[in-house]
Each structure stands twice: as structure tokens, then as C-alpha cells.
């Protein structure tokens, strides 16, 4: 997607602090971290949001979740972590390339919203 911020980051056109990559997945530090560890995990393939997950692209989402424990271990999150996906307007999604926030390094509050 020519006009997508995260596609540009994945392509190396915009710099980032990369923490992980494989054939299907790319992960980098959030520019505005909300926890001591705040990593954005994204599929290389452009999927706009969770609402656009279909059988033809869900393999990318599967790959994201297979990468999660590897990234969490690399980041030292042995005591747990939180994964958040914001979808669409009401979900508060600001970047329209599906991404999963991996948050950790502190005890999260019990409230989710």
C-alpha cells in the first residue's frame, strides 16, 4: 500500500527501532511507548484492520501470534504481558495497517478500558 505508514516502515522507507522480523512478520518499538516494553507487531502483508481478516490473509495473523512468544522472550517478559488490537473508529485505530500492541515490563491495571 503506497500510502501506508507501516508498509513504509516495513519497506525501510521510514526508520524504526526493529525488534523482530521473519518472512511474514515485522515488529518494532512504538514511537510513543505506553509501557516499559511497547512493541508493535504487524504482518508484512497489508491488512487494514481486524475487520478485514479473511481466510486468504489469516495466515499472516497466525504468523504474528506465532512470533509473540519469541518477541516476548527476547524482551524479557517472563512474567506476562498484554496484547491489544484497536480496530476502526470506535476501537481507536489511528494507523490503518493491522497491528498488535505488545505491552509489558510492568503490572498492568485490571481495567482494560
In the list 38, 45, 97, 99, the residue contacting Zn ion (rule: CB under 5 A) is 97
Closest alpha carbon to 64 in 79, 83, 77: 83
d(CA 44, CA 68): 15
Instruction: Tally Cβ neighbours within 10 Å of residue 113.
Output: 3
Binding mask 7-36 for Zn ion (x = CB under 5 A): x-----------------------------
38 is known as an active-site residue: no
* Contact residues: ligand 5GP, CB under 6 A: 5, 16, 28-32, 40, 86, 92-95
Smallest gap from residue 91 Cβ to ligand 5GP (A): 8
Continuous H helices in 1-113: 5-10, 58-74, 88-91
> Which residues fall within 8 angstroms of residue 11, CB to CB, at 6 or more apart?
none
Where is 100: in which H helix or E strand?
strand 100-104
Residue 28 contact, options ligand 5GP, Zn ion, none, Cβ 5-8 Å cut-off depending on partner type:
ligand 5GP
| Nearest to Zn ion of 75, 99 (CB atom) | 99
Q: Of 38, 46, 97, 99, which residue is the catalytic one?
A: 99
Residues taking part in catalysis:
99
Question: Which residues are near Zn ion by CB under 5 A?
Answer: 1, 4, 6-7, 46, 97
Amino acid at each position: 500500500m503506497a500510502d501506508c505508514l507501516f508498509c513504509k516502515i516495513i519497506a525501510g522507507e521510514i526508520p524504526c527501532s526493529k525488534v523482530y522480523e521473519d518472512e511474514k512478520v515485522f515488529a518494532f518499538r512504538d514511537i510513543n511507548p505506553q509501557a516499559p516494553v511497547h512493541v508493535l507487531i504487524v504482518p508484512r502483508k497489508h491488512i487494514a484492520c481486524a475487520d478485514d481478516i479473511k481466510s486468504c490473509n489469516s495466515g499472516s495473523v497466525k504468523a504474528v501470534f506465532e512470533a509473540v512468544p519469541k518477541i516476548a522472550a527476547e524482551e524479557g517478559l517472563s512474567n506476562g504481558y498484554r496484547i491489544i488490537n484497536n480496530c476502526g473508529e470506535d476501537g481507536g485505530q489511528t494507523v490503518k495497517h493491522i497491528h498488535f500492541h505488545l505491552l509489558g515490563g510492568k503490572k498492568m491495571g485490571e481495567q482494560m478500558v
